[in-house]
Amino acid sequence: MANESSLLSLEGISKDFYGNVVLEDVTFTVGRGEIIGLVGENGAGKTTLMRILFGMPVIAETGGFKGRIMLDGKQVAFTSPFDALDAGIGMVHQEFSLIPGFTATENITLNRESMKRNVACDIFGERMSVLDRARMRTRAAKAISRLGVKLDPDILVSEMPVGHKQFTEIAREIDRSNVKLLVLDEPTAVLTETEAEVLIQSMRMLAAQGISIIFISHRLHEIINVADKIVVLRDGKAVKSVPVKGVSVHDIATWMVGREVKGSSSMLSACSEKVFLKVDNLWVDMPGETVRNVSFDVCEGEIFGIGGLAGQGKLGIPNGLMGLFPAGGNASLDDSPVPLNDPHKVLNNHMAFVSEDRRGVGLLLDETLEWNVAFTAMQAKGEHLIPVLGGLFKLRNERTMKLLAEEYIKTLEIKCTGPKQRAKELSGGNQQKICLAKAFALKPKLLFVSEPTRGIDVGAKAIVLETLRRYNKEYGMTIVMVSSELEELRSICHRIAIVDEGRIAGILPPTAEIAEFGLLMSGEKTGKNGDAA
């Protein structure tokens, strides 16, 4: 709970990117051991505000900011993140910053390794000390256990599922001894609800030890669950700063958007009886998401949901079918076999995939938004190209590319300055919308989407789901959607399969009782359509 003397206060922070105002006179305080929930729509300025606090170089490079930051009663002006770290501020960024070929231990202790001195140190300095691997491992294990998760300290980051990468990053911040304030920018976006629950537990623990936390999330119930105080940003202004007591998810959503949020109405199109995708005895070796034996049919024009708890294998299914991880078994699309373990061939089959791991792959960050949206369609289908000299050369069709980008900026409400803005200048949530737009632009016959609304704000969530439904209806696109949010699945799917221990525990209609889904997820009951374990 908050102490009388506050740890951090932000006073009148303003920031613009070349005239584009993204923060305006933001003021709030953070008490010791207090958890602040920072919320706002995609592009409201949350990440930018945290970058200012953390002294990130992009801020100075783009003209600095206005306002004062007070830490422990003293004004601070960090010129680099290292100053912020020295002052006891830890930050987990929206993008991962881990070294892929290093183990969890090596990443957690990166540049703070335990060392044993030796004679060489006296001559050549501290860096000649030998690493004390045993101690590093204990430290890593301790930081991991403080988070209350199961994570092998010796596993390579490149072999970890997304959720574990997030825990590794948070463990790294916790391992720092002087940390007073932890900034977590959408740490739960890549986590499933159960993993998020674990993280929230450990946030409470850390707060109880006196560490203050600024927590950014689009999952508003988490904010209500864990925060002491809520700060709402709308279009760069702090419109609310209130204790969490008595506040409802609906209240926050309304403050964020500044108008009433409408729920999406569910109106499903009818789908044919014809089997379109047939999967038989699929196994997938995806670390942390192993699929053991899965069989199911998806009808033409159906939206098929796949749910289940974290680590049970639901993510493995699309990743395996798309050839991104070693897989075996049989799959056929429209009666022709789908080649496994061959990502190139699969794509010839009019299948597209929006991966749950959108941070690493997919976007060309230095390119413009329109180029990013059109790129895949251009490569796959030769669209947006004008043949010159009887097809000897092809030029990019700037006009149709622009139209395409504009169409998606409108449908998905992507917040940007226009189709020519570069992808890296967009906020995290808006980048994810581009990933979706890319896949939509392909108009595939079968679309796999994995966690489509992750990192996307409440208002935009409905838009994304609505777009999926519209494409399904208008173009007869068959969609397989993997999500850890049951409500989301129930709102748009025709049928929902629940995966448990790498097998399908059962397939239910969206109208089934929540309790029934719960039973399948907990492995209590095996449904009639299921593949008996």
Longest dimension (CA), the chain: 77
Residue 103 as a binder of Mg ion (CB under 5 A): the answer is no
CB of 47 to ligand ATP, least distance (A): 3
> With binding defined as CB under 6 A, does residue 419 bind ligand ATP?
no
Q: Which stretch binds another protein (CB under 8 A): 78-86, 160-168, 174-182, 221-229?
A: 78-86
Instruction: Provide the 3-class DSSP secondary structure of residue 399.
Output: helix
Note whether 101 binds another protein by CB under 8 A: yes
Cβ 212 vs Cβ 91: under 8 Å: no
The answer to whether 17 contacts ligand ATP (rule: CB under 6 A) is yes
Residue 107 CB, shortest distance to another protein, in Å, is: 9
**Closest residue to ligand ATP: CB criterion:** 429
Binding mask 266-305 for another protein (x = CB under 8 A): -------------------x--------------------
- What Cα–Cα distance (Å) separates residue 322 from each residue in 122, 286, 355, 415, 512? 55, 12, 10, 30, 30
Report the amino acid identity of residue 187.
P
Distance separating alpha carbons of residues 192 and 451, to the nearest angstrom: 9
Helix, strand, coil content of the chain in percent (nearest 5) = 35, 25, 40
- Amino acid (1-letter code) at residue 14: S
Alpha-carbon dihedral 28, 32, 37, 43, rounded to 10 degrees? 50
At 313, phi and psi to the nearest 5? Answer: 120, 5
514 binds another protein (CB under 8 A): no
User: Which helix (DSSP H) or strand (DSSP E) does residue 134 occupy?
Assistant: helix 133-147
Rg of the chain on CA atoms, in Å: 24
Among Mg ion, ligand ATP, another protein, none, the one that 415 touches (CB under a kind-dependent 5 to 8 A) is: ligand ATP
Residue whose Cβ sits closest to Mg ion: 47
Q: Report the partner that residue 509 touches, choosing among another protein, Mg ion, ligand ATP, none (CB closer than 5 to 8 A by kind).
A: none
- Can you name the residues that pair with 293 across neighbouring β-strands? 503
Closest approach of another protein to the CB of residue 492, in Å: 22
Helix, coil or strand: residue 283 = strand
Q: Residue 394, class by beta-carbon neighbours within 10 Å (0-12 exposed, 13-18 middle, 19+ buried)?
A: middle
The reply on whether position 223 binds ligand ATP by CB under 6 A is no
Count of residues making up the chain: 533
Is the Cβ of residue 329 or residue 523 nearer to another protein in the bound state? 329
**Which residue type, as a one-letter code, is found at position 150?**
K
Count other Cβ atoms within 10 Å, centred on residue 525: 15
Residue 111 makes contact with another protein by CB under 8 A: yes
Binding mask 391-430 for Mg ion (x = CB under 5 A): ------------------------------------xx--
What's the count of helices (H) and strands (E) in the chain, helices before strands? 18, 24
516 makes contact, choosing from ligand ATP, Mg ion, another protein, none, with CB < 5 to 8 Å by partner type, with none
Among 430, 450, 478, 483, binds ligand ATP (CB under 6 A): 430
Q: Cα separation of 149 and 165, whole Å?
A: 12
372 near ligand ATP (CB under 6 A): no
By CB under 5 A, name the one of 7, 13, 36, 47 that touches Mg ion. 47
CB 244 within 8 A of CB 215: no
- Interface mask (CB under 6 A) for ligand ATP, residues 33-62, using x and -? -------x-xxxxxxx---------x---x
Which residue of 113, 197, 406, 425 would you call a contact of ligand ATP, by CB under 6 A?
425
Per CB under 8 A, 355 contacts another protein:
yes
Residue 460, SS3 per DSSP: helix
CB of 184 to another protein, least distance (A): 17
Q: Smaller CB distance to ligand ATP: residue 22 or 170? A: 22
Binders of another protein among 116-135, rule CB under 8 A?
120, 126-131
Two structure tokens written together for 418:
């226009």
Q: Which amino acid is at 279?
A: V
H helical segments located in 446-493:
458-475, 486-492
Q: Which residue stretch of 101-109, 193-201, 291-299, 414-422 sits at the interface with another protein (rule: CB under 8 A)?
A: 101-109
* 8 Å CB contact between 100 and 156: yes
Selected binder of another protein within 382, 418, 509, 518 (CB under 8 A): 382
What is the residue whose two structure tokens read 């998810």?
249
Q: Tell me whether residue 44 or residue 247 sits nearer to ligand ATP (CB atom).
A: 44
Q: Which of 500, 455, 426 shows the shortest CA–CA distance to 356?
A: 455
The residues that touch another protein, with contacts defined as CB under 8 A, are 81-82, 85, 97-102, 106, 110-111, 113, 115, 120, 126-131, 285, 322-324, 326, 328, 341, 343-344, 347-348, 352-355, 360-362, 375-382, 385, 393-396, 435, 438-439, 442
The residues that touch ligand ATP, with contacts defined as CB under 6 A, are 17, 22, 40, 42-48, 58, 62, 415-416, 425-430
